[in-house]
Each structure stands twice: as C-alpha cells, then as structure tokens.
Amino acid sequence: MREEAECIQVFTPEMIDTMARIWTRASISLMDVRHQLIRPGQPLQNYRMPSSMLVYAYGGSANVQLNQTLFGMERFGVFHGGKGTTLSISSEGETLGSFMVLYKAEAPPFFRRDLQRLLEQMNPFVQLYGFSPSTPVWFMDVFQRMLDSWSRATAMNHFHTTSLFYQSMHEIYRDLERKEARFLQPDPVVSAKRYLDEHYMSPILFQDIADMFGISGGQLTRLFKKNEGKSLRAYLTLKRLEVARRHLLHTNATVKEIALGCGLNDELNLNRMFKRHYKTTPSEFRKIERARMQALDMDNDSHLSYNEKELDNLVKFQGDGDIEMNSNRGFRATAFLLGMALLLSACSGTGGASGGNGGNNQTPSAVNSSAVTEHEQASQESPASTKRFRHSFGEIEVPIQPERIAGFWMEDYLLALGTDSVVDSLSGLYDRHYLQSRMSSTTVVDPFNMNFEALMTTEPDLIILAFPHIAEGKYDSFSKIAPTYVLDDGEWRDWRSALRLVGELTGRQAQAEQFIKQYEEKVADGRVKLHAALGEETVAFIRIQDKNLTLYGNLTDYVGTVFYTELGLNPAGIVKKLVQSENPVSEFSMELIPDIDADHLFITVYESDDSKQKLKEIYDSPLWKELPAVKNGNIHEVDMGHWMTSGAIASDMKVDDVLNALLK
C-alpha cells in the first residue's frame, strides 16, 4: 500500500467519506497495544513507529511531535502517524499517560483494485494529525478496554480489541465530520527551542525560525522571552556553553575543536563567553573538574546507592494477609503467626504442673488425642502451619514452608532460593540440561496445554503462576490441586521484588535476601573493576535472529539494566541514537554497520540455520572488519537464553558474562 505521509489539519466531508470507504475495504491487523507513563524530565524521544499507530495521551500539558510537526497539548490529545513516523512526547510538569495502538493495514484480494484507486486520492493509514477530542472520557475508557483485552492474549480477546479499535477510529471520524474536534496547533516557542537544541552547531538566523510559523522575528522574540525568561540569543549561548562544558569534561578535543563544534567562530570567542559565564577559562575548567571527578568516582564506585531503594521493596502482609509492597511488615506478620503457634502449643500441649499432673506434662487433650478427629486436629494446627495471601484471583492459604512447588515461568526465582521446582514451564529460554542439573525433581509440563492429571501426580504444596493469562479460565483447576498464587504483571517485572515475593510465599525470605546481597556485592565490585579497566570505553549489544539484526540498549530493559544501570557501562553512540525509551530494540540493516561505534560489542545468536548464516555474512563483511571493536578483538558472543529474559538467575548470569568478557 502506498505510504506518503503528510500532516493533515483540515478534513473536508469528501475526505472523510473517502477515508471511511478505505477503512471498510482494508484488512486491519493489530500488532500491539501498549501503555506508557511519560514523566517530567524523562521524555519519549524520536521513537520511530514500526507500523501505523494511534496514540491517546492524557494527564496534563505536553509537547507532542510527529516528524517535524510539533503540537502543544493541554490535557489530552489523539495523534496518528504511519510506519516510520518519528514520535516524541515530553511532559510540561505532570506525569502523562499514553496509550499506543500499533496496527497494519493490507489490501485483501477482492478489494485490491478498488482500494488502490481510493489510496491514490489519500492514505489514512499514514496521515499525521493531532487533535483534542470532544469526548475525552470515552476515549480514555475505550483505550483502557483495548489494553485490558489485548493483555489477555486469547483469540477472542484480540478479536474484541480489534472491534474496539474500529470503534475508536469511527469516533475520530465522527468528531472530524461534526467539526467538534479541536486541532492542536504547533507551539512556536517550543519549536524554536527544539530547533536551537538540534542546530546550535550551525549559523542561525532567528528570522528563519520565525518564518516557519508565519510570524515576525520580533513576535517570536517576545513570545520566547515571556515563556522562557531569556532571549533567543541568551538561550542559544547557554546551549553552546553547555555543550562545550560537556566536551571539556568527557573528550580530549582541543578548545579550538570544541569551539567550532559548538557553532562558535573561534577559540577566542569561546574563551571570552566561557569566562564570562563560568568565571574561568575552558582549559582551567577542564583541569580542575577532571581532577575532582576522578576523586569522586573512586569514592562513589565503592559506595553504590542505586540499590538502596530496594530496601523499600520488601513484600509485606496487610491486615489479614494481603500482600503489599515497600515495607517489611511481612516479616512481623510471619513472626506473629509463629508466635501464635507457639502460644497455642504451650496452652494445649505442655500443661506443666497445673491440673495436678506433677511431673507429667501431658494434658487431658493430649492423653486422649486418639479421640480428636482429623478435621479438629487440622483446625488446631492451621494457625501454626499456614499463612494467607491475597492476589488478583482471590485469597489463598499457603503452608508456611512448602516443600514441593509448581512454578510456571518461575524456575529462575525458585533456583535462586535453592528450591526444587516440580514443574518446569517449557519457557524455552533456559538450557534444559542446566535446569535439570539444578533441580532434582523436575517434571516438564506445558501450562498452555495443561495435563492437570500429570500436575496432580507431582503432589505440589503450592503453585505459582507468573502471568495472569496462564490462569485465565484455568484457575479453578489449578487451585483444586494446590493453593495457587498468580503474580500480577507488575509484580514480576522487577526481579528483586519478585524474588522477595516468592521468598515470602515459600517461606524462604532469608534465602531471597542472601541472593540479592551476594548479587549486589558482585555488581558493586564489578563496577569498580570495570571503571578502572575501561574508563569511558563504550558497549553495545546485538541480537541476530534468523535474518534480522537488532540492537538492544534501552536503559531499563533486561539488557540495558545490566549494562548501564547495574554495571554503569557507557552506551555507544549508536545505542543512544537508534534505541528509544519506548522500544528496547531497534532493527537495522547491514548498511548501518559502519555506525556501530562501540569499543566492545556483545552478540547473541538464535539457534537456527538462518541466524548462523546471517552471522557468517556479518563476519565476512568488509564493513564489519573495519569496526573498532573488531579490530581490537572486542567481540563477545554470549548465551542467547538468559540474555533474552529477566529474572534472578538470568541477571546473575548476565553480570558474569559481562565481567568475564571485559575483565579477562
């Protein structure tokens, strides 16, 4: 289908009728439904849409950019772009929410010719537009329902999501048809700031910026000073000085080279402006600040603070056993239950001298224990032997320390706790022999084609399911076999919190804390060693899957967390350029290989003939052989399994991979 994107802010009745005809003739496939929070200071920047996308943003003032068109949003807005459109969202003060629906439109054979004729007039699947809808609450509800339905991952739920998506597009066109939508207009001040941020290294005429918005240079200057508190000239000067300061600290470029790279005419000009603002010359600043940074780095690397917040992530009980995060009340609740057990035991089983028994410590109930029914005995033992947890599927009562645990996609956490999992979930991300060497009683069961009889024969004391969709429609069957806990989506994404939760569920809190402590000690020691060995050398991570070449490096995904957050490694320039905060991977072609500017390059390869062929093609490429990492022998191939997942053992193995590769 033809894809020619243009920004549309006027829709005539004829255009809307044509777009509706195209939608009725096209075949729409949903690719994904997402939700993301955009916090102040953490914008979504230059995300390249992998398919056509409908976005609903809400929650406050924001700037939303589609390609070169910038929109100022006040409280909520609907935005649309086609495949390849660059999307940026930045908050003006509040945390924003954004729903994103990715879809693909194709022409079915029986409509191909008719649809092609309509597409020659316009293509609604690639149009760029942004507006404030007349019914924001309705849009909020329908996007939330789309997200909920899509996350359940069944054919019927995905079918329902598609129907909701059609409803949303119909409502958009109704708004446009009734002229009730308020189109969002570009903000000249924000656009001017963005232009200066991107072009500070070049000569700039402020009138050229004003011409972009059809206003005079004087009007743009007045608007800019009113909003920013400084003139365009002052903002540009501060931007250039900020960049010069960064280059002085982190590069070995000469003062003259930095001056030219910042858009200043010569070294003398930079010296004059730098001394006026920082009260010192660039050369003096570099000498003093580098010495100070070196001293601080030596101290900070040995006293890591990034893990301190994890002390607030302990799982706790709330009231009658509800699980709650960010405290250690769970330990107090467990201690209370154990205390109650000891108290009851003291009252019923060790009567002492009371009752005239003298040295005989047996009470009448103990002597006549054969008269106690099994039900009554279980009832008496219950407070001492179980504890209660509440989750999204209800409340369960769990043995204080279950011995046999069926964990689906939980083997990572159970291994970290030194626990035998009686069920391995066929996740396919770990080496099967490795797992079985660590687990003495492993039974392989597929949760999506569950043989509940096979599960029953393992006689588990507790079942833990990692995802709600595994339990969808099957929870009653699981719970009849053993108490079953289902982790919410948010509970397992941070492996430390998940490990502490599993530790609470299995009565192995001490093992959880010990594993985390040992891991963080390894990371802290590794940071110091890596900093000493590598300095400012950069890293990147490439995955080869079949014929696809992808670059990982989002600072918060399962690769970036280990590289950049945990071990403090320096991301390569291509990582910063290609990989955006919304999408942890960026596909790229062989032509982009020369842009891989990493000093160290990690590679993981899928086990397939196409993947191996692709790897050979890359290694044989003249472009590849010219890379700095290749010339210096800094190519590190690592195991696919644990690098493609997040978890306790997986994170530990990732750290070992990096340390072994970079410190050998």
Segments making up each domain of the chain, as ranges = 13-183, 189-300, 317-349+381-510, 535-663
Q: For the full predicted model, state whether its pTM sits above 0.85.
A: no
Model confidence pLDDT, tens digit, residues 136-177: 889 999 999 999 999 888 889 999 999 999 999 999 988 888
Structure tokens at 17: 């009728």
Model confidence pLDDT, tens digit, residues 508-545: 999 999 999 999 999 999 999 998 888 889 998 888 88
User: What is the Cβ-side half-sphere exposure of residue 75, based on CA atoms within 13 angstroms?
Assistant: 8
187-196, 473-482, 574-583, 593-602 — which is least confidently predicted?
574-583
Two domains, one topology: 13-183 and 535-663: no
The span from the CA of 332 to the CA of 317, in Å, is: 9
Pick the CATH number of 535-663 from 3.40.50.1980, 3.20.20.70, 3.30.70.1380, 3.90.550.60: 3.40.50.1980
The span from the CA of 195 to the CA of 209, in Å, is: 8
Superfamily name and number for 317-349+381-510: Nitrogenase molybdenum iron protein domain (3.40.50.1980)
Q: Does domain 189-300 sit in CATH 1.10.10.60?
A: yes
The dihedral built from the CA positions of residue 149, 155, 156 and 159, taken in this order, carries a sign that is positive
pLDDT tier for residue 268 given thresholds of 50, 70 and 90: confident
> Does residue 115 or residue 474 have the better pLDDT?
474
Model confidence pLDDT, tens digit, residues 436-491: 444 444 444 555 556 677 677 777 889 998 878 778 788 888 888 889 999 887 77
Pick the CATH number of 13-183 from 3.30.2290.10, 3.40.50.620, 3.40.50.10420, 2.60.120.10: 2.60.120.10
The span from the CA of 43 to the CA of 194, in Å, is: 13
The span from the CA of 422 to the CA of 416, in Å, is: 15
Residues 6+ positions from 628 with CB-CB distance below 8 Å: 597, 598, 599, 634
For residues 249-276, average pLDDT: 85
Between the two ends of the chain, the Cα-to-Cα distance in Å is 52
Q: Phi and psi dihedrals of 350, rounded to 5? A: -135, 75
